[in-house]
Structure 1
Amino acid sequence: MFDKAELVGIARKARSRAPMETLEQIDVTTELGLDGDYRGKLRRRQVTILAEEDWQAACGELNRDDLPWTERRANLLVRGITLPRIKGSTLSIGNVIFEITGETDPCNRMDDVAMGLQNALMPDWRGGVTCRVIKGGTIAIGDPVGTKM
């Protein structure tokens, strides 16, 4: 496995259905979530976080190792940690703290990416978690990730 849990991907979109833009670092605020991401004003779904291991498991079910994580349209990709599956749990990335507000339900758009992907993302919250920001800051690729239940 990996020595430590870390942030391995950052992505945002300017509006619904817009292409995902990947970044090396980003500012995160309690008011707007990720700087420049359209979803930030939605208090309960400011940021979506996906575990790389969950993405790989879903893609593995479809025998598709060629799908980039950004096709999931999540904001942050973490590696080496099991995401909390309890609302109200917290997740830290660098100095930023997120509160888990729920599961990111896979939508039928996932089947447009690869037939069967929506169902492959459904078990065990594989589609990731939705969060709100409770302490802002700047995060960057390689930042450590931790949880508190």
Structure 2
Amino acid sequence: MTEAVTEAVTARVHAIHVAPGRRLPTKSVEQVEAEAGAGLVGDRYHGTRHRHVTVQALDDLAAASEALGRPVDPALTRRNITLTHGPIPTRPGERMQIGAVELEVVRIAAPCRLLDDDLGPGAMQALRSPRGGTVFRLLSSGTISVGDEVGTG
């Protein structure tokens, strides 16, 4: 009798997006500086108390695409970091590490009305929990780059 061996595939950063201001389009970057207690340098939420970075996963976007009936472009969801796959921690206090940067869950990210404007009618509903990602605070500083490994625990 042979034993099936399952190998866990490590999630990685697929894309990074920042927006310089509220309601402004996000721009794709290869890396971003994460500042503990402040957020992503160059992003609209840098300097806020708790909402430092938002994280989503491609498999959740695929489920949203299926519900919506059309593709969901990660750049248009207004989330900062897109991972190759989930799951993404969602309970307040849970932690995740991206590269050398440690993050702590604040809450599940609620989709905003801008999604219907940017992705079309129904997008906000298609990206409701659990597909909309998670809001984190930054516990440590460092550079987050596309391709970085993700750890949870």
Taking structure 1 as the reference length, what is the TM-score of the superposition?
A: 0.91
SS in 2 for 1:26: strand
Q: How does 1:1-149 map to 2 (within 5 A)?
A: 3-65=9-71, 67-112=72-117, 113-124=119-130, 126-148=131-153
RMSD: 1.4
8 Å Cα contact 2:60-2:86 kept in structure 1: no
| Residue deviations 1:35-79 (CA, integer Å, cap 9, x gap) | 1112021121111111111111111111212x3111100000012
Structure with the higher strand share, 1 or 2: 1
8 Å Cα contact 1:51-1:77 kept in structure 2: yes
- Partner Cα distance (1:108, 1:36) in 2: 23
> Identity of paired residues, percent?
32
- Partner Cα distance (1:19, 1:107) in 2: 14
- Partner Cα distance (2:116, 2:85) in 1: 27
Structure with the higher helix share, 1 or 2: 1
SS in 2 for 1:39: coil
8 Å Cα contact 2:106-2:136 kept in structure 1: yes
Taking structure 2 as the reference length, what is the TM-score of the superposition?
A: 0.89
- Partner Cα distance (1:37, 1:123) in 2: 23
Structure 2: which amino acid aligns with 1:92? Q
After the TM superposition, list the runs of 4 or more consecutive aligned residues in structure 1 that deviate by more than 6 angstroms: none
Q: Which range is displaced more, 34-43 or 7-16?
A: 34-43
8 Å Cα contact 1:31-1:40 kept in structure 2: no
Runs of 5+ unmatched residues, structure 2: 1-7
8 Å Cα contact 2:36-2:138 kept in structure 1: yes
Deviation, structure 1 residue 29: 0.6
- Partner Cα distance (1:139, 1:108) in 2: 28
